[in-house]
């Protein structure tokens, strides 16, 4: 599952968050503002593990008012020196170079190896661990096909926007009809990463917290699932080799 070259953070502190599902509301904007302010004050590098947006249908979204304030916050934060990286999620996999240029946010591939000292960390949104959900896997391949991606970036927004909203509604309905096991991460896929030398696997997507210690002596690392940031404003932090959960206070981005 690893194609991209490993990267290392430029800061001594890292924040990890996922599943913001920004929809243009004041609540979502306020939460993003607090996180960026905390990263600035804490001199932390921020990794967003997908689903920053409720949906993102391509570069045309940059010209629409829906996320104007949120995009401005990202641009202001990166301009102030906050390093922000975004791994695409199942809702915003169409972020690309135009988004990077508009916000200063680095867009990473679907999965990324992060080196934290001697520790190898596997980052992803987490939907790639849904190997039992055959329907989703098929849809994922279709939506990421060259034809669909090209169409999303080049068709008029008045065509693409309603299609994106329809797909979002259909996806929400289909979740309720699926077996619980199909919506859980395949732990064999996670274990295969430990077997390849990863000490920590971090993802979001599953909308529930999983924070466990590994067993290095047994060849098992730590599997950490992030709580959705939109719910209570929790982030995962790494500093001096220590992982912990942190809830952000009511800070602001000047």
Give me the pLDDT at residue 86, please. Answer: 98
Burial code of 62-78, b = ≥16 C-beta within 10 A, e = fewer? eeeebbeebbebbebbb
How many angstroms separate the CA atoms of 236 and 108, rounded?
Answer: 19
Q: Is 6 inside a domain boundary?
A: no
Give me the pLDDT at residue 182, please. Answer: 61
State the DSSP string of 195-238: HTT-SEEEE-SSSS-EE---BGGGTB-EEEEPPPHHHH-EEEEE
Per-residue pLDDT of the chain (254 residues; tens, 9 = 90+): 446 799 999 999 999 999 999 999 999 999 999 999 999 999 999 999 999 999 888 888 898 888 999 999 999 999 999 999 999 999 899 999 999 999 999 999 999 999 999 899 999 999 999 888 777 778 778 777 787 777 777 777 767 667 666 666 665 656 555 566 666 898 899 999 999 999 999 999 998 888 776 655 556 799 999 999 999 999 999 998 899 999 986 554 44
How many angstroms separate the CA atoms of 207 and 114, rounded?
Answer: 22
How many angstroms separate the CA atoms of 1 and 23, rounded?
Answer: 31
For residue 50, give the DSSP letter.
S
Give the predicted TM-score (pTM) of the model.
0.88
Give me the pLDDT at residue 147, please. Answer: 79
Q: Is 243 inside a domain boundary?
A: yes
Q: Is 237 inside a domain boundary?
A: yes
CATH of the domain at 168: 3.60.21.10
Q: Is 5 inside a domain boundary?
A: no
Secondary structure class of 3 (helix, strand, coil): coil
State the DSSP string of 7-43: B--SSSEEEEE----B-S-HHHHHHHHHHHHHHHHTT
Give me the pLDDT at residue 178, please. Answer: 59
Q: Is 95 inside a domain boundary?
A: yes
Beta bridge partners, 84, equal 46
CB neighbours of 218 closer than 8 A, spacing ≥ 6? none
Name the residue range of residue 205's domain.
Answer: 13-247
Q: Is 195 inside a domain boundary?
A: yes
Domain count, the chain: 1
Q: Is 254 inside a domain boundary?
A: no
Q: Is 78 inside a domain boundary?
A: yes
């Amino acid at each position: 599952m690893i194609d991209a070259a490993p990267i290392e953070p430029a800061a001594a502190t890292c924040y990890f968050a996922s599943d913001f599902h920004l929809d243009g509301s004041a609540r979502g904007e306020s939460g993003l503002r607090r996180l960026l302010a905390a990263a600035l004050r804490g001199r932390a590098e921020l990794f967003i593990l997908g689903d920053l947006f409720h949906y993102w249908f391509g570069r045309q979204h940059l010209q629409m008012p829906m996320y104007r304030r949120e995009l401005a916050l990202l641009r202001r934060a990166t301009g102030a020196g906050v390093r922000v990286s975004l791994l695409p999620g199942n809702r915003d996999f169409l972020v690309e170079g135009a988004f990077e240029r508009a916000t200063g946010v680095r867009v990473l591939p679907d999965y990324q190896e992060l080196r934290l000292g001697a520790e190898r960390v596997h980052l992803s949104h987490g939907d790639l661990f849904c190997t039992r959900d055959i329907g989703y896997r098929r849809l994922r391949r279709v939506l990421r096909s060259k034809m669909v991606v090209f169409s999303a970036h080049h068709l008029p927004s008045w065509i693409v926007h309603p299609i994106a909203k329809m797909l979002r509604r259909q996806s929400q309905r289909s979740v309720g009809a699926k077996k619980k096991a199909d919506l859980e991460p395949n732990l064999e896929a996670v274990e295969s990463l430990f077997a390849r030398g990863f000490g920590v696997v971090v993802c979001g997507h599953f909308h529930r917290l999983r924070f466990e210690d590994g067993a290095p002596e047994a060849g098992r690392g730590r599997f950490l699932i992030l709580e959705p940031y939109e719910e209570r404003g929790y982030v995962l932090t790494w500093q001096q080799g220590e992982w912990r959960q942190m809830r952000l206070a009511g800070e602001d981005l000047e």
